[in-house]
Structure 1
């Protein structure tokens, strides 16, 4: 039977797989007594005897009993940092063993609870230390984005310094990477590739939420030669829910703040052959000035589609160069026709207003375009274009494999366009 980190052990013959030495004990008194008896004589510890020596963190923790005079009822093991050891208890209560790795160079406290054949409770507290890792290779993680306030669409990212391919090793890493939000929401990690994970909730983050990312990897064995290293935690907050919806068919961009329509702006989007991507994108950056050239997206200089333009109030939504920006040269088409090379263009005054009213992490959604759907990964944050089922399939703890293009596919995507 599977057990939570607050696991189960009992008052009978116990063997914790970190030492040797098996003895027995009895309730020695009224079995209905409210005070648990000392179960020390029932416990065998398969680690260093007494408080000397160090236990091997590579070996699992185990508690057993022969079942002759009782059973294990609870085992709780945690280190000095407060990290619990997950484990499983057999159906007959004769064996508990750890299912999560022990940390190296750590001090553990194990609380064992038992119950004898008369129902009297027994207790014993054990302590031991684990040895230092023998490897010099460490897995570290860098959380993103940098600390600050973001829109409700901002994913949390985790960049690993070394690739992790094995599914069991990924599960160890993922289990140690914690994301908490206030208010609390349902969410999970998704492996983008061997060195990158993204975390998002089922729906957008709540407004004015506090989100913290931290790691419990330090000292934890991931593979024979790879151990978790120290990781700097991250704290970000969210602002209002800002969602800009661009309808390529009606040539209008409508900005909603906390569900209320704030402003509708006439726009132009990508013309045939340069259609704007459909789907949900996340604001990546705001750039007051960008120089855009047709040659950057493969348009030959001097051709009918060639351009070299100064662009102002440019809000970036893809790394390949899709923006919402000022396009004074196409004002006559804005609200009526799609004439751009993939960007969403508007008047300079409207672009300045949009620029001032969005922040990184806000949502920009395009509908009714003939373009492809925004890539989930590799060209910005298209994370929200995956269904929740497909998102969860990219978790090593849930099951399945990531869905959609890999970041290396970004090299084949179109760069900047106007």
Structure 2
């Protein structure tokens, strides 16, 4: 439906509002008033933020933009600080009012772009800028991301370790909303609160092969509680390699090694004997150690008992913090492929263990099936994150459906309107 603009817009040149608030003139391509750029909407809206450069907004107070009664309506509002952080907000169905629903950052510079329509349907635009005051409390929340920068397998979760406990759900939502994970190619994912001080992030499925994953915190200057504000945190970047999946069938005594969906090796193995059965489920490689001295006393076996051991072990690939490895076990070669005789580890010949060691990396997937052992713990003993189904994983997020608020990262504030 075509609308005839008000008289003030029916001219061949129209006043443009730039990010600095200065006016410049520009002509439409053919003099048609419908091709004119949006007019200055300053007279149509009111704003509760500070108007003078010497004033600073209180970050505790929400933003509000209101359309003047009978003058038109607001069609869109985008609020963003100088670091690129968006402010989530809600626009009334009739376009009469927009207000922020997420907290502002303290000591930050904000740009608010307001799009409008007058009662005749003519588009308007106003860009507002303001600064917020410094936080009242000096207490800051720090976040340390893991793992270390580098290349990992497609099963590697991202971790966020907080230096203070966050128990309140609303405060958790503020923290989680500010922890951003971006991957190329992009895949859906979500945070899970493992404890009051630790979060894990994983995609719905494994990471894509040869992906780049970047993690950063937008918490700096964000109010979490009356006595706690977000602090600065170091960003993290990791990449993924090929998709390596290892499946150990404890009943068949065979380990099968897959690379990008193709089986490339099968190795006879032995797993945990009765009473020491290997855990079932998906584990993620934690680290590789060329040499480990393994003692039964470290897993609760009394020294001198029939099950006691103290052995030098080579080519050891660790999958749990409690001591489960895939490693060389030359003493059990006769049982490999036929019987389970270990204390929970997956043992193989030295040559096979060396090959495995050379072709596996931290973050790769090691899955055990058909064992009589307990299921792998989701948390606390390594990365059992993939044993939690996606629906349940989403319930571990403090945000609704695990989805951050606000515009998508690509929705940038356009400070200079373009001709139509």
Number of positions where the alignment pairs a residue of Structure 1 with one of Structure 2: 375
Q: 2:296 aligns with which of 294, 299, 316?
A: 294
Q: Provide the secondary structure at the position in 1 that maps to 2:127.
A: strand
CA distance in 2, matches of 1:27, 1:301: 95
Shift of 1:346: 0.8
Q: Which runs of 4+ in 1 moved over 4 A?
A: none
Indicate if the aligned counterparts of 2:45 and 2:68 stay in contact, CA closer than 8 A: no
Any residues of structure 2 matched to 1:382-401 within 5 Å, and which?
382-398=384-400
CA distance in 2, matches of 1:120, 1:207: 49
Q: Provide the secondary structure at the position in 1 that maps to 2:392.
A: helix
CA distance in 2, matches of 1:225, 1:307: 53
CA distance in 1, matches of 2:142, 2:380: 22
Shift of 1:36: 2.9
Shift of 1:392: 1.1
Shift of 1:329: 1.1
Indicate if the aligned counterparts of 2:79 and 2:86 stay in contact, CA closer than 8 A: yes
> Where does residue 333 of structure 2 map in the other structure?
331
Q: 1:70 aligns with which of 69, 72, 75?
A: 72
Is the aligned partner of 1:35 residue 2:37?
Answer: yes
Shift of 1:245: 0.8
Is the aligned partner of 1:365 residue 2:347?
Answer: no
Q: Which moved more, 1:300-309 or 1:193-202?
A: 300-309
Indicate if the aligned counterparts of 1:202 and 1:388 stay in contact, CA closer than 8 A: yes
Q: Relative contact order (C-alpha < 8 Å, sep 6+): which is higher?
A: 2
Q: Provide the secondary structure at the position in 2 that maps to 1:199.
A: strand
TM-score of the superposition, structure 2-length normalised?
Answer: 0.86
> Where does residue 407 of structure 1 map in the other structure?
none
CA distance in 1, matches of 2:330, 2:113: 71
Unaligned runs of 5+ in 1: 1-25, 401-418
For each residue in 1:275-311, what CA deviation from the matched residue of structure 2 results, as whole angstroms up to 9, or x when unmatched? 0000000110111111111122222222111111111
CA distance in 1, matches of 2:193, 2:204: 16
Indicate if the aligned counterparts of 1:27 and 1:120 stay in contact, CA closer than 8 A: no
Indicate if the aligned counterparts of 1:140 and 1:231 stay in contact, CA closer than 8 A: yes
Unaligned runs of 5+ in 2: 1-5, 12-32, 403-420
TM-score of the superposition, structure 1-length normalised?
Answer: 0.87
Indicate if the aligned counterparts of 2:255 and 2:266 stay in contact, CA closer than 8 A: yes
Q: Provide the secondary structure at the position in 2 that maps to 1:191.
A: strand
Any residues of structure 2 matched to 1:5-16 within 5 Å, and which?
none
Q: 1:347 aligns with which of 343, 346, 349?
A: 349
For each residue in 1:336-379, what CA deviation from the matched residue of structure 2 results, as whole angstroms up to 9, or x when unmatched? 00011100111111111111110101111100000011000000
CA distance in 1, matches of 2:302, 2:76: 72
> Where does residue 186 of structure 1 map in the other structure?
188
For each residue in 1:176-227, what CA deviation from the matched residue of structure 2 results, as whole angstroms up to 9, or x when unmatched? 1111111111111111111111111111111111111111111111111111
Is the aligned partner of 1:226 residue 2:228?
Answer: yes
Indicate if the aligned counterparts of 1:27 and 1:122 stay in contact, CA closer than 8 A: no
> Where does residue 163 of structure 2 map in the other structure?
161
Shift of 1:39: 2.5
> Where does residue 147 of structure 1 map in the other structure?
149
Is the aligned partner of 1:316 residue 2:303?
Answer: no
Shift of 1:27: 6.5
> Where does residue 23 of structure 2 map in the other structure?
none
CA distance in 1, matches of 2:120, 2:293: 82
Indicate if the aligned counterparts of 2:327 and 2:345 stay in contact, CA closer than 8 A: yes
For each residue in 1:31-53, what CA deviation from the matched residue of structure 2 results, as whole angstroms up to 9, or x when unmatched? 96523332223333323232221
> Where does residue 122 of structure 1 map in the other structure?
124
Indicate if the aligned counterparts of 1:27 and 1:116 stay in contact, CA closer than 8 A: no
Shift of 1:315: 0.6
Indicate if the aligned counterparts of 1:76 and 1:112 stay in contact, CA closer than 8 A: yes
Q: Provide the secondary structure at the position in 1 that maps to 2:297.
A: helix
> Where does residue 244 of structure 2 map in the other structure?
242
Q: Provide the secondary structure at the position in 1 that maps to 2:171.
A: helix
